[in-house]
Structure 1
Amino acid sequence: MQVSLLRLFNRPMSEEQTLILKDLLVDHYSRLLDDELDKVVAERGYTQKDFNDMLNGDD
């Protein structure tokens, strides 16, 4: 996959185009991470109190 992407983008790109592409990839992976986090939170039944306890080091 990585080689395919390198071949696809093996052309001159402006700094603006490069930033747009990076933003697109970051947005994509951010959405995937959010989806995975939502799934884990739902599976484990975490509440806001649980997160607060974790942040405060409460057991």
Structure 2
Amino acid sequence: MATISNPHTELNALQISLLRMFNRPMSERDVLELKNVLVKHYDKLLKKEVTRIVEKKGYTQDDFDNMLNDES
């Protein structure tokens, strides 16, 4: 069986803090709500970054259509 090399093995201060904060019993509903909060947060960040790059590169809808239909 192949092993996966992961150079990142230490937790940062935020990760440790979150582990401590959530080191308690939680219902599945609580877990799902927290996951949704994180997903919404990262969705917002991703949309901002995509918008920034699109504006920087000057992409148009035609550019995206061409990228999607390019068969090379």
Q: TM-score, normalised by structure 1?
A: 0.94
1:39 aligns with 2:45: no
1:4-58 deviations in Å (ceiling 9; x for gaps) = 1111111110000000000000000000000000000000000000000000117
In terms of fraction of residues, the more helix-rich structure is 1
Match of 1:16 in 2: 29
Match of 2:17 in 1: 4
Where does the alignment leave 5 or more consecutive residues of structure 2 unmatched?
A: 1-13
Q: How many residues align?
A: 59
Task: Report sequence identity in percent.
Answer: 54
Which has the higher Rg, Structure 1 or Structure 2? 2
Question: Once superposed, what is the RMSD of the aligned Cα atoms?
Answer: 1.4
Match of 1:57 in 2: 70
1:29 aligns with 2:56: no
Q: TM-score, normalised by structure 2?
A: 0.78
